Structure 1
Amino acid sequence: MKLGLGTVQFGLDYGITNTAGQPPLEAVRSILGHAIRHGVHTLDTAALYGDSESVLGQALPRPHPFSIVSKTLPLDTALSEQRAISVISAGIDRSLQRLGEPRLSGLLVHRPDDLLGPMGDALFEALNTLRSQGLVKKIGVSVYTPQEALTLLRRYPIEIVQLPLNPLDQRHLREGSVHELAHAGVEIHVRSAFLQGLLLAPSRPLPSGLEGLAPAMAAWQSLLATEQLTPLQASLAFLRGIPAVSVTVCGATSLTEWQEIVAAYDSAPALPTELFKKLPILDDKLIDPRFWPKR
C-alpha cells in the first residue's frame, strides 16, 4: 500500500472534525514539498473540491513527480445526452487548465449513479475518447457501497475504484468487493481512512447525531491500548493489512498534520483484519458521511 495526498481540504472547509479551515497557499506548498521528499506521488482532487484544482495549479513545483487523479462533474440528466456529455468533457478541459497539466493520471466518475444510469454507456465512451486523445491515462469511478463497485466492475472495464474503508466501515471487506476488484486487476484507492477524523480523537465527545458510534469507539480505544498504537498508526495498520489496497488517500490542513500522517504511515505495521473484527458498524447512516448531520 502506498500513501496518497488528498486535497479536498485545499479547496474546501472539509471534515466534521476540521476546525482549521483551508490551509494558506504557502502551507500547501510545504505539504507538497514534504510529500515529494517522502516518496508520496499520488494526488487526489476533483472539480467539486472548491478551489482545490486551482490551488494545486499555483502550488505545484514544475516539473513535479505527482500522478494526479481528478473526478468528473455530476452528469446533468435534465440535458440531452449529447449536451450532458459535452459539459463533462468541457469540465475535464477546465480541470486540466486549473491544474496546469497536459493530462491526468486518473479520471474518476465522481458520482457512480452517472455510470449506473441511462447515460452510463455514453459517458464511458466519452471517457474512453479522452483516454485515446492522451488526456487521461486510466479511467475509474468513486463509489460508496460494495453494490455500486461490483455492478460497475461487471458493466465496464474500469481501472481505478476509489472507495471508503476504515476500521469502522468494513463494508467493502465484508461483502467481498475489495477482493473481487483486486482479482480483476483494478487499482483500489481508499478514502475516509480516518472517518473524517473521528478515529483520530477517540476520547472526544461524538458529534450530535452520531452517538450510536459510542460502543465501536470504546472498542477502538481498547484496541489502541492493547496494540500500543496511536490512532493514526492503527488506522493505517488496518489498511496495511489488506494487500488489495493500492493507495490510501489522506488529507491534511497543515504541514504538521501531514508530517504526523507520514510518520505514522512509516511506522505502522501491517495488522491482520481479524484484530479489527469487533469494530465494524452495520448501520450505513453512522459510517456514511452523506447521512451525517450538518455541522
Structure 2
Amino acid sequence: MIPSRAPSPVDKLALAVVHQPDRAIPAPAGAREESLRGLLQTAADSRVTQVATRPDGDGERWLGQAWPFPSPFQVSVRTVSVSDGVDRVEARARRSLERLGLPRGDLLLISSAGDLAGAEGRALWDRLLALKDRGLYRRIGFCAAVEDGPALLARRFQPDVVQLPCNLLDQRAQHGGVLGELAALDVAVHASSVFADGLLFVGSESLPPEMHRHAPTLSRIRRRLAEARVDPMQATLAYAMGLPEVSAVVASIASAAELRAVVAAAHAPTPALDWAALQLEPAAIAAADSDAQGRGRVSSAA
C-alpha cells in the first residue's frame, strides 16, 4: 500500500498562465513554447496540479502543445459570453478541450455572473449541466464578484464551484459572510485576484488612477508588513490560503521564475498578522472597482 502524501500548501494553488505581452517576455514561437514547457514542468515538479485557463487568443492551444506527459494537471475552462447565444457557449466549451488536447476537463466556469442573471441564464446553466452529464467536465460553476450576490445565485443554480475575488486588500467575501454562506451550501470556493492587481508590489507613483487617493493607506499597509518582516507576496498568499472555505487559490504566473517565487512564498511559515487591519476599507474597494470598470480596466482573474 502506497502511503498518502502529507498535505502541502501548494495543494490549494491553481496556476493561471499569463500570455499577455505586458507580463510575459516576448519571444519567437519556438522559445515561447520552450518557456511554457519549462513553466508547466516546474509546476508539475512543485506538485501544483491545478491549471486555470481562459478562452482568449491562443493561450489554450499553446498550453495544449506544452503539457508534460503524462499530464498531472486538473484543468478549469471558462466560457465565452452568452451574448452570442447558448449554442456558441457550448460549442466554444467543447472547442476549448480540443485546443487544450484534453478528452475532458475538471471544471467549466461561466465567466460572468451576469450571464446567469440574464434572460438566458437558465438555458445557459442547462447546457453546462448537459456537458457535465456527458462527462466532458467533472464540475461546473461560475465566476462572480461580491456585488453579484454569489450566494443567492448558488442557491438557485447549485454549482459545484464559485470563483470570486478574495485577497488581503479586499476581504469583503470573508467579513461579509459570503464565504460562509457558500460553504453552508457545500459549494467549493476558488479565490481569484489574490495579488489584488499587484497593488502591494508597486510604489504610489505606479498606482492606477482610480487608486491614487488610496496611496497613503497602501503605504501604511506595506509599512506594517515591512515592520513584521513579511514579504507582500507571502502575506497575500498566506491570507487567501488560510481561509478554510477556499479550496483553490488562483495565481497568475508568467514564467517559471515567478512560479518558483510563488511556491516558495506558499511554503513559508504563516505570519502572525492582524489580517483585518491590512485591508482597504470595503467602501474604498467598492469605489475603486466602480472607477476601474468605468475606465475600462479589466481586473486580473488571478
TM-score normalised by structure 2 residue count: 0.86
1:39 pairs, out of 43, 47, 50, with: 47
For residue 210 of structure 2, what is the aligned residue in structure 1? 209
2:6 corresponds to: none
What's the secondary structure of 1:190's corresponding residue? strand
Q: How does 1:46-57 map to 2 (within 5 A)?
A: 46-47=54-55, 49-57=56-64
Query: Which residue number in structure 1 is paired with residue 130 of structure 2?
Result: 129
User: Could you report, residue by residue, the CA deviation over 1:250-292 in whole angstroms, capped at 9, with x for unpaired residues?
Assistant: 11222211111111011141656x4333522323242575455
The one of 69, 73, 83 equivalent to 1:66 is 73
CA gap of 1:213–1:24, structure 2 versus 1, over 3 A, is farther
Residue 210 of structure 1: how far off its partner (Å): 2.0
The AA in structure 2 aligned to 1:72 is: T
Q: CA deviation at 1:212?
A: 2.0
Distance 2:261 2:38 in 1: 14
Q: Report if the CA contact (8 A) 1:163-1:191 is conserved.
A: yes
Alpha-carbon deviations, 1:130-185, whole Å to 9, x = none? 01111010010011125431221121111111111111111211211111112222
Distance 1:182 1:72, change over 3 A: same
C-alpha spacing 1:287/1:267, structure 2 compared with 1 (3 Å): farther
Q: Deviations over 1:194-253 (max 9, x none)?
A: 112222235663233320221331222122123211111011111133111111111122
Aligned with residue 4 of structure 1, among 14, 23, 32 = 14
Q: How much has 1:192 moved relative to structure 2?
A: 0.8
Give distance in 1, aligned partners of 2:178 and 2:109. Answer: 18
Alignment of structure 1 residues 136-215 onto 2, 5 Å: 136-202=137-203, 205-215=206-216
Name the CA distance, whole Å, in 1 between partners of 2:38 and 2:75.
Answer: 18
The answer to whether residue 36 in structure 2 is matched with residue 28 in structure 1 is yes
Task: Give unpaired runs (5+ residues) of structure 1.
Answer: none
Question: Displaced runs of 4+ in structure 1, greater than 6 A?
Answer: none
The 1:228–1:255 alpha-carbon spacing in structure 2 relative to 1, beyond 3 Å, is same
Aligned to 1:277: 277
Matched residues in 2 for 1:96 and 1:241: separation? 32
CA distance in 1, matches of 2:239, 2:245: 12
Q: How many corresponding residue pairs?
A: 282
AA aligned opposite 2:13: L
- Segments of structure 2 that go 5 or more residues without pairing to the other structure are 1-8
Identity between Structure 1 and Structure 2 (%): 32
User: 2:229 is matched by which residue type in structure 1?
Assistant: Q
CA deviation profile, 1:70-95 (whole Å, cap 9, x unmatched): 1111002xx6xxxx221111111110
Deviation at 1:40, TM superposition (A): 0.5
Q: Which residue of 2 aligns with 1:119?
A: 120
Q: SS of 2:39's equivalent?
A: helix
Give the letter aligned to residue 138 of structure 2.
K
Q: After superposing the two structures, state which structure 1 stretch, 63-72 or 174-183, moved more.
A: 174-183
Amino acid at match of 2:15: L
